[in-house]
Amino acid sequence: QIYLSIHQYPTASSMLLVRTVANPLNVSKIVSDTVHGMDPDQPVDHFRTLEQARSNSLASPRLTALLLALFALLALVITATGIMGVLAFSVSQRFHEFGIRMALGAAPAAVLRMVVRQGMALVGIGLAIGLAGALAFARLLSGLLFGVRPTDPLTFAAVACVLSAVAAAACFLPARRATSADPMHALRSS
């Protein structure tokens, strides 16, 4: 602690920290009376507990983290919708092919695996490009991270796993539609 004279630094604010076992808000009247007993012209206001001061100091980083989490969730939903849309379009274009494959003896499970594998191959390429970009730009976000290195391998692995799981779920719905291709309809229309 450093003592600075209020006459030399008149714009400096002063703070009084009081440790108590009683309710801190009940002690505020005693502290105010004690300070006014020493100097009646001294303003005494703005009583806060340590928890309130800590909460106020963390409000901005907490809001930033909440907004980042919401935008990340929105990006995840948009990604899943995009993957599902692209794969659904691909399945609709190849519906005739799936019917012929099943007419030639392909099991619906094999068609499902084929469509999911093709979708996940594209997701794998996207993850590799995204990982490279994230490593390149990780230093820019280092000011927003608390207790985590910008290139934390566990975080990168967790994000890749979550994206892979969401992508697999997004690939599954159009792939399931591909297994409903009617072999007889495909043979009649060819």
Mind listing the pLDDT tens digit for each residue in 27-67?
888 888 888 888 888 777 778 887 888 888 888 888 988 99
Calculate the dihedral angle through the C-alpha atoms of 28, 31, 35, 38, rounding to the nearest 10 degrees: 150
Percent of the chain with pLDDT over 90: 33
Model confidence at 84, in pLDDT bands (50, 70, 90)? Answer: very high
Residue 26's pLDDT is 80
Per-residue pLDDT at 13 exceeds 90: no
- pLDDT tens digits for range 129-155: 999 998 888 878 777 777 778 888 888
Residue 1's pLDDT is 66
Cα–Cα dist 177/116, whole Å:
11
CB 44 within 8 A of CB 32: yes
Find how far residue 160's CA is from the centre of its chain.
13
Determine if the pTM surpasses 0.75: no
Residue 53's pLDDT is 81
Rounded (5°) CA angle 98-82-124: 75
Residue 11's pLDDT is 64
Cα–Cα dist 36/29, whole Å:
11
pLDDT (mean) for 178-183: 81
CB 88 within 8 A of CB 169: no
Q: In 3D, which of 131, 180, 173 has the Cα closest to residue 155?
A: 131
Q: Of 1-10, 20-29, 36-45, 161-170, where does the model show the most confidence?
A: 161-170
Residue 18's pLDDT is 78
Percent of the chain with pLDDT over 70: 95
Computed over every residue of the chain, the mean pLDDT equals: 85
Residue 24's pLDDT is 78
Cα–Cα dist 168/118, whole Å:
11
Helices (H) and strands (E) in the chain, counts: 7, 0
